[in-house]
Structure 1
């Protein structure tokens, strides 16, 4: 089946579309990386301000669970069924992954074949004039050489001698595809593959950014930074609440370790703790 030649205009348009996609992708990647950097910075600040207090509270909760489990076992041996809340589950920090590496785009195919329509004779002439016109050369021997070459260019154009113009341009360093055509099917396939890869990467970056914005930590960062912009100090308020909870758990642990000898007090203690932990 004969190949459908891609015109030079179409080739330029497709390349510009690909470049637009790549620029859009670069913006999306920069937005993602900026949001991720902000979130990592916020997490570090959050842990520095509250991490030690949170660890202390978790340790107290673990001790409380152990104390209440012992109380519950002791009451069961005495025929009293006391509710026992489940072991508090640890809440790991969510991963804030970086973007996966992008698949590199393949190199553009090159080669002097006739699949890509060659430029018109007039286009060749104009390109040769840009190369050899004496008015574009400095004075001296180089200008004289250009004058001689321009005479040959004019004669070749007047006689429609494409081969002469092509030979002169190729010898002067012009790319073969700009002079005698290029691999149309290969170029078309390359453009299609590049567009597919870039569009796939765009979907990956958009999905990763949406996942980043869905994290509870992201919402917390937004809320805290808005409060701070309004003159509040939410991290200090949260630290004060954690200290209050630590004080309450210490008191609760103190009581729990000392009510074991009184069945009524022990059962009441377990009931209240169950209500606090479960909200029921």
Structure 2
């Protein structure tokens, strides 16, 4: 009787631990989803404010690259070497992925909390073979998976690794009471499996949250919202800077399309453009 009381107390404590883990996971998921929604909203606002200007600037840079390529080829035909910067790379918006769907927890075993003898190692092996033997699987990827699992089953049986066999069977959906023994032990095993699954999900959410927080767009959002909270208008400032750059590129393009007849002017134009694009001086 005392043993049953201890078992009930242990199961109650483990259930509370599992609930605590699930509550912690729910907080992490809500934090991630909230940060993702904010980031997607910011990206939309950012593109509405600056997208047309950025496209205009990109178009001008592409025209400038074409013009400078033509100048460079013309100078080479005159045996004049002039630096040509690499074509600007298109900026790709990073993906802001949602969390993958969580694997549902298996149902809790039911029945009286009595201890029944667990099945023998040989019985566990036979059940595992019935589930994982590749000859029982259809052709294709599923059979390859079964081959890998059957290798693990054979290895565990040879080493008399009961825990490994139990883990494989429980993960495959075998009823805990048929793997561990009586319902009390089955519930204990079920709780252990659920804890393992929730902890794995916690690691996934934490890793994806870290990826989101390391996105340059996330850091830009934080900086801009902090500036806006201080009464500044950073998007307006950025738009003004883009308009200034657009005006400069239009002037640069105007010059670049008209210096082709003078090798000295063309070479000087290419050097200045190289310095602006690369930030490097020329010896």
If the length of structure 2 is used for normalisation, what is the TM-score? 0.73
CA distance in 1 between partners of 2:112 and 2:219 (Å): 57
Spell out the pairing of 1:146-225 with structure 2 (5 A cutoff): 183-225=183-225
RMSD (Å), alpha carbons: 1.4
Q: Which residue of 1 aligns with 2:177?
A: none
Q: Which residue of 2 aligns with 1:247?
A: 247
- Structure 1 residue 215, shift from structure 2 partner: 0.6
CA distance in 2 between partners of 1:237 and 1:113 (Å): 69
Spell out the pairing of 1:56-205 with structure 2 (5 A cutoff): 56-112=56-112, 114-115=114-115, 183-205=183-205
Question: Which structure: larger Rg?
Answer: 1
Q: Which residue of 1 aligns with 2:37?
A: 37
Q: Which residue of 2 aligns with 1:258?
A: 258
CA distance in 1 between partners of 2:70 and 2:114 (Å): 88
Q: Which residue of 2 aligns with 1:139?
A: none
Q: Which residue of 1 aligns with 2:11?
A: 11
Deviations 1:189-245 (A, max 9, x none): 110110000000000111111111101111111110111111110000000000000
- Structure 1 residue 93, shift from structure 2 partner: 0.4
CA distance in 2 between partners of 1:100 and 1:55 (Å): 33
- Structure 1 residue 46, shift from structure 2 partner: 0.3
Q: Which residue of 2 aligns with 1:271?
A: 271
- Structure 1 residue 37, shift from structure 2 partner: 0.6
- Structure 1 residue 115, shift from structure 2 partner: 1.2
3-state SS of 1:7 partner? helix
Deviations 1:113-144 (A, max 9, x none): 6218xxxxxxxxxxxxxxxxxxxxxxxxxxxx
Q: Which runs of 5+ in 2 are unaligned?
A: 117-181
CA distance in 2 between partners of 1:255 and 1:82 (Å): 16
8 Å CA contact 2:213–2:219 kept in 1: the answer is yes
Deviations 1:44-87 (A, max 9, x none): 00000000000110010000000000000000000001000001
- Counting matched residue pairs gives 212
3-state SS of 2:46 partner? helix
CA distance in 2 between partners of 1:269 and 1:114 (Å): 89
CA distance in 1 between partners of 2:96 and 2:212 (Å): 7
- Structure 1 residue 185, shift from structure 2 partner: 2.2
Q: Which residue of 1 aligns with 2:231?
A: 231
- Structure 1 residue 112, shift from structure 2 partner: 3.6
Runs of 4+ in 1 over 2 A off after TM superposition: 111-114
3-state SS of 2:219 partner? helix
Q: Which residue of 2 aligns with 1:173?
A: none
3-state SS of 2:248 partner? helix
